[in-house]
């Protein structure tokens, strides 16, 4: 029995060794023509590239991701957000200085601006009661910066943007060159700062009606350039008589052009001894609108409306009635033209009457809605 058990063990061991030998041999697989093999791949790891049709979110190190252009109508985020500062814009030339929009008579109405020519600081209540958003102010050179600022603030706090004129002017034309005295720069610096604050509209640069005082367009352009060099962001204003008159007579040296002023105030005074020259008033206004549109399109018109009497003038200028003053105002305002009433206070000894000279019946016609 023991002998038989021994033989069986030897046979089993032999069979086991043989099966291990067969399992260890390599196997060859032959692929017949047309036969396919399905290969199952492992799932991609987190570092595997996504499919090409899946957008790749940009990362801090992804330098090859294209950055889309910024839309032109994107609103500027409020101050304090972590955004890249915009590229600075080159400063405009003296002949193309962009001027901010003229203030409206009231934010609700959207009417063109309206105000008082030659209003003093003490006239702030009249500025406010008439709803004026413009005021012309004359300061004296010897008063000093603190006084100038106080006077401007009085009118600005009443709701007006102020056109500031200095008397006497701190610049003169000498031997063909504009010469600025020591008062000029502090004055211009103050106006530039208060313009940035929305209180000053412009500086009154040339003298009143410069073409009538024999100044030329080239001389006015030289003054404009000099003022812009000293106060780059400050607009320049001047009154004129009739702008189209000089073009009509063929006087090229006194025809309005770019780079003379930013705001121009021509006029036609329709109230005289013969009545109300309404038709001429309208045609003169439209002629001034036309010449500025053609000759100096960047210059904004501020029309002067007659509010004074000068009987010694050839036509015998008189004060208007309330109805006439309102009508003359609306003619300009309805055409989108801002107006100043000339004059609120007395600016010339020859004037026998003016708006502030006890005319409550006229104040209700000022700046009509």
pTM (predicted TM-score): 0.74
Whether pLDDT at 365 is above 80? yes
Question: What's the pLDDT score for residue 146?
Answer: 98
User: Span 288-298, mean pLDDT?
Assistant: 98
Whether pLDDT at 349 is above 50? yes
Question: What's the pLDDT score for residue 102?
Answer: 58
**Top-confidence residue, 303 or 44:** 303
Q: Is 176 helix (H, G, I), strand (E, B) or coil?
A: coil
Mean pLDDT, the chain, integer: 80
Whether pLDDT at 137 is above 60? yes
Comparing 18-22, 204-208, 243-247, 273-277, which segment has the lowest mean pLDDT? 18-22
Comparing 100-114, 207-221, 230-244, 296-310, which segment has the lowest mean pLDDT? 100-114
Rounded CA gap, 300 and 243, in Å? 13
- Around Cβ 3, how many Cβ atoms within 10 Å? 6
Residue indicated by tokens 């910024």: 70
User: Span 200-204, mean pLDDT?
Assistant: 98
Question: Closest by alpha carbon to 307, among 290, 329, 334?
Answer: 329
User: Span 349-353, mean pLDDT?
Assistant: 97
**Top-confidence residue, 54 or 132:** 132
Whether the bond into 349 is cis, omega within 30 of 0: no
**Top-confidence residue, 126 or 91:** 126
User: Span 336-364, mean pLDDT?
Assistant: 97
Question: What's the pLDDT score for residue 97?
Answer: 57
Question: What's the pLDDT score for residue 110?
Answer: 77
**Top-confidence residue, 178 or 2:** 178
Q: Give 305-325 pLDDT, tens digit per residue.
A: 999 999 999 999 999 999 999
Residue indicated by tokens 């038709």: 279
- Around Cβ 98, how many Cβ atoms within 10 Å? 9
Do 68 and 58 contact (CB within 8 A), yes or no?
Answer: no
Whether the bond into 195 is cis, omega within 30 of 0: no
In terms of Cβ atoms closer than 10 Å to its own Cβ (0-12, 13-18, 19+), residue 99 is middle
Q: Give 30-86 pLDDT, tens digit per residue.
A: 333 333 333 333 333 333 333 333 333 333 333 333 333 333 332 222 333 333 323
Do 292 and 256 contact (CB within 8 A), yes or no?
Answer: yes
Rounded CA gap, 369 and 363, in Å? 13
Supply angle C-alpha 154, 121, 299, rounded to 5: 80
Question: What's the pLDDT score for residue 105?
Answer: 46
DSSP string, 26-68: ----PPPTT-----PPPPP-TTSPPPTTSPPPP-TT-TTSPPP
Residue indicated by tokens 């979110």: 57
Question: What's the pLDDT score for residue 100?
Answer: 55
Q: Give 91-120 pLDDT, tens digit per residue.
A: 334 454 556 565 554 444 578 999 999 999
- Around Cβ 237, how many Cβ atoms within 10 Å? 21
CATH number among 1.20.960.40, 3.20.20.80, 3.90.580.10, 3.40.50.970, domain 112-363: 3.20.20.80
Q: What confidence tier does 253 reach under pLDDT thresholds 50, 70, 90?
A: very high
Residue indicated by tokens 């352009």: 221
Question: What's the pLDDT score for residue 99?
Answer: 61
Contacts of 198 (CB under 8 A, 6+ apart): 156, 161
Task: Report DSSP state, residue 121.
Answer: G
Rounded CA gap, 73 and 127, in Å? 38
Rounded CA gap, 305 and 322, in Å? 13
C-alpha to C-alpha distances, 111 to 104, 116, 323, 340, 365, nearest whole angstrom: 5, 16, 19, 14, 15
Comparing 73-77, 213-217, 331-335, 338-342, which segment has the lowest mean pLDDT? 73-77
Question: What's the pLDDT score for residue 84?
Answer: 31
User: Span 346-356, mean pLDDT?
Assistant: 97
Rounded CA gap, 306 and 314, in Å? 16
Question: What's the pLDDT score for residue 93?
Answer: 42
Do 211 and 238 contact (CB within 8 A), yes or no?
Answer: no
C-alpha to C-alpha distances, 274 to 40, 125, 178, 271, nearest whole angstrom: 106, 34, 43, 8
Whether pLDDT at 206 is above 90? yes
Q: What are phi and psi of 135, to 5 degrees?
A: -155, 140
Percent of the chain past pLDDT 90, that is, above it, reads: 70
Residue indicated by tokens 């073009």: 247
């Amino acid at each position: 029995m023991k002998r038989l058990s021994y033989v069986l063990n030897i046979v089993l061991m032999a069979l086991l060794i043989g099966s291990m030998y067969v399992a260890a041999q390599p196997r060859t697989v032959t692929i017949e023509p047309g036969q396919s093999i399905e290969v199952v791949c492992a799932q991609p790891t987190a570092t595997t590239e996504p499919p090409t049709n899946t957008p790749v979110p940009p990362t801090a190190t992804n330098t090859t991701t294209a950055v889309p252009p910024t839309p032109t109508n994107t609103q500027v985020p409020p101050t304090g957000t972590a955004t890249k500062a915009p590229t600075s814009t080159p400063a405009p030339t003296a002949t193309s200085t962009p001027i901010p929009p003229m203030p409206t008579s009231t934010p609700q109405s959207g009417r063109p601006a309206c105000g008082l020519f030659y209003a003093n600081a003490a006239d702030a209540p009249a500025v406010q009661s008439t709803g004026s958003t413009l005021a012309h102010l004359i300061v004296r050179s010897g008063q000093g910066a603190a006084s100038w600022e106080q006077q401007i603030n009085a009118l600005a706090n009443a709701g007006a943007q102020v056109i500031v004129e200095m008397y006497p002017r701190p610049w003169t034309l000498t031997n063909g060159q504009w010469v600025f005295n020591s008062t000029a720069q502090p004055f211009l610096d103050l106006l530039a700062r208060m313009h940035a604050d929305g209180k000053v509209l412009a500086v009154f640069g040339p003298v009143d009606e410069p073409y009538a005082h024999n100044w030329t367009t080239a001389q006015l352009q030289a003054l404009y350039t000099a003022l812009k060099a000293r106060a780059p962001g400050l607009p320049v204003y001047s009154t004129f008589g009739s702008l189209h008159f000089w073009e009509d007579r063929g006087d090229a040296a006194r025809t309005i052009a770019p780079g003379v002023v930013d705001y121009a105030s021509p006029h036609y005074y329709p109230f005289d001894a013969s009545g109300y020259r309404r038709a001429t008033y309208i045609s003169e206004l439209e002629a001034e609108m036309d010449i500025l549109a053609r000759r100096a399109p960047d210059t904004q018109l501020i029309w002067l409306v007659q509010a004074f009497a000068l009987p010694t003038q050839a036509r015998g200028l008189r004060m208007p009635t309330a109805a006439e003053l309102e009508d003359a105002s609306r003619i300009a305002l309805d055409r989108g033209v801002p107006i100043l009433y000339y004059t609120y206070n007395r600016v010339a000894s020859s004037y026998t009457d003016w708006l502030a000279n006890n005319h409550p019946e006229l104040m209700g016609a000022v700046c009509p809605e």
